[in-house]
Amino acid sequence: MTARTAADARTDARDAYQADFAACPTNRLLDRMGDKWVGLVLKELAEAPQRYGELARSIPGASQKMLTQTLRRLERDGLLSRTVTPAVPVRVDYELTPLGRSLLPVLDAVTRWAEQNIGQVDRAREAYDAQQG
């Protein structure tokens, strides 16, 4: 029988913490919300459903690939729905689900906080960077 070392105990503790962190609902949601285009897509769809082309025009910095990936992830998470209407050409509309709409007040609160405090954050970063070298 082998003895457990302190290093083994630290490894086990780290692994348990990482498993808890990965399962944390807040962490999981913030991970999605932190994706580059998610906030803009949600804000664009807050007013009304939009077609893919409308979203692409209103978020010009997002490549077709990234916008498509973002829309698919939000659909997978249940935050938006995708409706395909057979026509020539095919019409695809994206709309926030009730779950997605329930996230808008949270996004608005974060936006307001950022707008009110980004100056302080920037100054703190500059002061920190100046101290570092």
* pLDDT value, residue 30: 84
Phi, psi of 60 (to 5 degrees): -65, -20
Question: SS3 for 61?
Answer: coil
Phi, psi dihedral angles at 77 (to 5 degrees): -80, -5
In the prediction, which pLDDT does 27 show?
Answer: 83
Residue 127 pLDDT grade (very low, low, confident, very high; cuts 50, 70, 90):
very high
Match 């939009």 to its residue by tokens. 50
The DSSP letter of residue 24 is: -
Tens of pLDDT, residues 84-122: 989 888 889 999 999 999 999 999 999 999 999 999 999
Sheet holding 80-85, edge to edge: 50-51, 91-96, 80-85
What is the pTM for the complete model shown? 0.78
- The alpha helices in the chain, defined as continuous H runs, are 6-23, 25-33, 38-47, 52-58, 64-76, 98-132
Residue 78's region, left for phi above 0, alpha for psi from -120 to 50, else beta, is left
Assigned token pair, 76: 């997978």
Model confidence at 3: pLDDT above 90? no
pLDDT (tens digit per residue) in 20-36: 667 788 888 888 888 89
pLDDT tens sequence across 28-80:
888 888 889 999 999 999 999 999 999 999 999 999 999 999 999 999 999 99
Q: How far apart are CA 49 and CA 85, in angstroms?
A: 13
